[in-house]
Amino acid sequence: MSPEEFQSASNVSRETMDRLKVYAGLLIKWQKAINLVGKDTLPDLWQRHMMDSAQLFGIAREIVEGRGPESRSLADSVWLDLGSGAGFPGLVLAIMGVGQVHLVESDARKCTFMHEVARETGADVVIHTCRIEKLQDKAGQPGQVDFISARALAKTDQLLSWSVPFRSQNTVCLFPKGQDVDLELENLLEFDNSVIKKWPSRTHSESVVLQISSP
């Protein structure tokens, strides 16, 4: 996928696209010194990372719009991204227009990279350099949020366990998952009564985005 194909598929503005190109350029530059993403994924950066992240924005927008005019808009929402790594999906979502995104990453070098991207792109993010399970004890932690995401981080039950301190009745979790998702859900549904929906992935035919919310 080329940048032009990404822009057409995601329908982002020219200004947003310019900021995402800055992000992509910094990623390629920093990758030479820090292993930010899998080296073999760089040639298809716009599909494997940018679009894989951007699809969550479209899903979240549909969820917000489905709640009616009195619900909080996506531009006013607070989003928590667990295990952000090089900033996917959290930084992409912030650049696309989510109100405020909290990024949690224990690797200080990756956090330094995300700070640089945020500075260069003007993304409204708060970066927490800590382990996920330590976040609730940190000053500036987000409390209960509107959305929680995690990409290629852990199994669904573990993600939900980490999410507990930050979930309210209205919080929606969005987790991109691969072909083993049904096995994960079998184990999860034995002891969890969450409402689960699968959205088809826009980047891989065997993948989905799990939408998980309280009953």
pLDDT in tens, 21-51: 999 999 999 999 999 988 888 888 998 999 9
CA 194 – CA 31 distance, rounded (Å):
38
Bigger pLDDT: 147 vs 155: 147
Q: What pLDDT score was predicted for residue 12?
A: 92
Distances (CA, A) of 125 to 1, 175, 206: 27, 19, 31
The whole-angstrom separation of Cα 174 and Cα 193 is: 16
Secondary structure letter of residue 132 according to DSSP: G
Enumerate residues 6+ apart whose C-beta is below 8 A from 125: 90, 91, 94, 100, 101, 102, 103, 114, 118
Give dist(CA 29, CA 128) in Å, integer: 23
Report residue 94 as tokens.
Answer: 């912030």
For residue range 87-135, list pLDDT tens digits in order: 999 999 999 999 999 999 999 999 999 999 999 999 999 999 999 999 9
Q: What is the pLDDT of residue 131?
A: 95
Residue 191 has pLDDT above 70, yes or no: no
What is the predicted pLDDT for the residue at 150? 95
pLDDT at 69 (0 to 100): 67
Tokens of 30: 């920093």
DSSP 12: -
Q: Is the pLDDT assigned to residue 61 strictly greater than 60?
A: yes
Q: What is the pLDDT of residue 101?
A: 97
Report the C-alpha gap between 125 and 212 in whole angstroms. 23
Q: How many angstroms separate the CA atoms of 12 and 98, rounded?
A: 13
Q: What per-residue confidence (pLDDT) applies to 195?
A: 86
Render the burial of 55-84: b for 16+ CB within 10 Å, e for the rest: bbbbbbbebbeeeeeeeeebeebbbbbbbb
Cβ 57 vs Cβ 94: under 8 Å: no
* Rounded distance between C-alpha atoms, residue 207 and residue 193, angstroms: 23
Where residue 194 falls among pLDDT bands split at 50, 70, 90? confident
Mean pLDDT of the residues in the chain? 91
User: DSSP character for 48?
Assistant: I
Q: Are 202 and 9 in contact (CB under 8 A)?
A: yes
pLDDT of residue 90: 96
Residue 160 corresponds to which tokens in the numbers above?
């939900």
Packed helices 3-10 and 14-31: angle between N→C axes, nearest 10 degrees: 140
Stretch 163-173: mean pLDDT, rounded? 93
Q: Rounded distance, CA 170 to CA 213, Å?
A: 7
Is the pLDDT score of 188 beyond 80?
no
